[in-house]
Amino acid sequence: MKLHLALRWIVFAFVALIMNFPVIATFITALKSPSEISRNPSLVVDSPTLENFVTVLTVSDRLNVYHYLWNSFSAATIGAILPMLVAFPMAWVMVRRGYGRALLFPLIVNLRALPLIIFAVPLYLMFSVAYLLDTRIGLGLVLAIVNLPLTLMLLVNAVAEIPIELEEAAHMDGARLPRLIGRVVLPLCRPAFITTFVFGFITAWNEFLFGLILTTQRAVPMTVGASFFFATSGGGVQWGVAAAVMVVAALPPLILGLVMYRRISGSMVSGAVKG
């Protein structure tokens, strides 16, 4: 029995190491000085330094990390909140009144499964007409589409979990629709809103394809910006700096995700199983 358990721990440690290897290795590399990188690619750092982070965080005019971070932050915020705003009323009418259950809901949920590239090309054309190319708002709007299906599903689950008696009690207490939703349904959905926001924010932050196609300069998000550090324009890639950039870029979703891993994993499961 003891041996069995020990074996399970070993398997866990091994799998965790392999799956997270690129993250670990990138973090370690970010702590190496440029001269050490060229002679020591191993995972043991001889003389750890924060030099690379300093380079990344002291603004250089060509590749400005703060600029990318701000773009990602604002676009991801729009991309997480907007779908919640439009989907919440829909979630309520669908659960309580059965409105849109036949067509609208399956339509939206199935969007999730379509390859994003299908939308990318026509959205590019539309954005070029609407002057939304290379803007944070434009990117945020697109990320909102990406997040809409899962947001709707999570909010539908949240509304469905409210006991119907509570809404009936509010009706009996004289509450009409606005008060019912404002004072009873909304507060009860708050935990779901937080989960949905975090989930949507992480998804939006991590999005790459639309950032690549729809932005060129002003609204370039962090994921795309990070790839610029790998472009070998004159000389080789500065691996230490590139690694530091990736650590900075991956940190916001990682922190959010690890703090809330229970809810995140829970919503991933319910999003998958109920779709």
- Site residues for other proteins, 189-208, by CB under 8 A, read 190, 202, 205-208
Is residue 86 involved in binding other proteins (CB under 8 A)?
yes
Nearer to other proteins, 61 or 165 (CB): 165
Binders of other proteins among residues 61 to 80 (CB under 8 A) are: none
Q: Give the number of other Cβ atoms within 10 Å of residue 202's Cβ.
A: 19
The first and second tokens of residue 37, run together, are 């990188």
Residues 11 to 40 in contact with other proteins, rule: CB under 8 A: 11-12, 15-16, 18-23, 25-26, 28-29, 37-38
CA distance 57 to 63: 10
Q: Maximum Cα–Cα distance for the chain, whole Å?
A: 76
The span from the CA of 47 to the CA of 57, in Å, is 21
Nearer to other proteins (CB atom), residue 50 or residue 237: 237
Does 48 help bind other proteins (rule: CB under 8 A)?
Answer: no
Q: What angle do CA 91, 93, 99 make, to 5 degrees?
A: 110
Contacting other proteins within 101-160 (CB under 8 A): 104, 107-108, 110-111, 113-126, 128-129, 141-142, 144-145, 148, 152
Q: Contact with other proteins (CB under 8 A): which of 10, 50, 54, 166?
A: 166
DSSP 191-244: HHHHHHHHHHHHHHHH--HHHHHH-SSTT--HHHHHHHTTS-SSS---HHHHHH
**Amino acid making up residue 69:** L
Give residues 205-244 in contact with other proteins (rule: CB under 8 A).
Answer: 205-209, 212-213, 223-224, 226-227, 230, 239, 242-243
